[in-house]
Amino acid sequence: MTKRILVVEDNQKNRVLLRDLLMYHGYEVIEAENGEEGIQKARENHPDLILMDLQLPVVDGFAAAKVLKDTPETADIKIIAVTSFAMKGDREKVIESKFDDYLSKPIDTRQLPRVVKSLLGDDQ
């Protein structure tokens, strides 16, 4: 069965890149443009994984991840932070903030599929 991934990203170019890359690797992709929409789509679709930007309009990625991880219906969904925060200590801060993993921008198109497959336990 095809795994479903929710991409929560306000930048259209980044969203298209993530969508196209994930679809190329055989995943179904759902998209959201802000944290509030991401929370709603996660509740409605219960994706296998969420890729979430941290600097989002309406509700930022940190707050959205907290809501999802603190809600029993969505607490089991793995969430990867995808962010331009790439300073020393940022990864640790993100992992402590309810995220399961962290990828920095610009997106490494070889690393992303490996991280996704690892978190999903895919043998694709």
Residue-wise pLDDT tens for the chain (124 aa)? 799 999 999 999 999 999 999 999 999 999 999 999 999 999 999 999 999 999 999 999 999 999 999 999 999 999 999 988 666 666 667 767 789 988 988 999 999 999 999 999 875 4
How far is Cα 48 from Cα 2, in angstroms, rounded to an integer? 10
Whole-model pTM: value is 0.92
Q: What is the pLDDT of residue 71?
A: 97
52: containing domain: 4-120
CA gap 48, 51 in Å, rounded: 10
To which residue do tokens 């980044």 refer? 14
Whichever domain contains 8, its CATH number is 3.40.50.2300
Domain count, the chain: 1
Three-state SS for 6-58 is EEECCCHHHHHHHHHHHHHCCCEEEEECCHHHHHHHHHHHCCCEEEEECCCCC
Position 40 scores a pLDDT of 98
| SS3 state of residue 109 | coil
Q: How is the beta sheet containing 28-32 ordered, strand by strand?
A: 28-32, 4-8, 49-53, 78-83, 101-104
